[in-house]
Amino acid sequence: MRTIFADTFYFLALWNPRDQGPAKALAFTAGYHDALLTTDWIVMELADALASPPNRQKFVRLFRILQQQKELTIVPASRTLLDEGLDFYERPADKEWSLTDCISFTVMKKEGIAEALTGDRHFEQAGFVALLK
């Protein structure tokens, strides 16, 4: 079974049709029935992006729905994973990769995942395929 990493970019594209990449995100979602994987850090980043009062309760409902999706695994936050992501964050001094991205890269490497639902060029810089570019 194929597993693809779901980045914040993907969830925001589905949330806001005026955001970058919504057509590709919607098309992907309609035709993909295998596994998705994301992290608690992506969920946190999504919540931060949707923190304005009109979106807060909508985000909470969305999160509850995501938690129930059997094809979606949400990797829990842990101090070990944070430390491993921080090690990744520290290495490329010439990159502008966020800590959340570095944690995502760490998880993807551990899980053997090569593709991400994102349009973020940082994933490509780290050697992954950004499916929503």
Domain ranges of the chain: 3-130
- Residue 8, class by beta-carbon neighbours within 10 Å (0-12 exposed, 13-18 middle, 19+ buried)? buried
Percent composition of the chain: helix, strand, coil (DSSP 3-state, to 5): 55, 15, 30
pLDDT at 17: 61
CATH 1.10.287.610 fits 3-130, yes or no: no
Per residue in 38-96, pLDDT tens?
A: 999 999 999 999 999 989 998 999 899 899 999 999 999 999 999 999 999 998 788 99
pLDDT above 70 for 28: yes
Nearest to 114 by CA among 128, 124, 133: 128
pLDDT above 80 for 124: yes
pLDDT at 90: 92
3-class secondary-structure state, position 130: strand
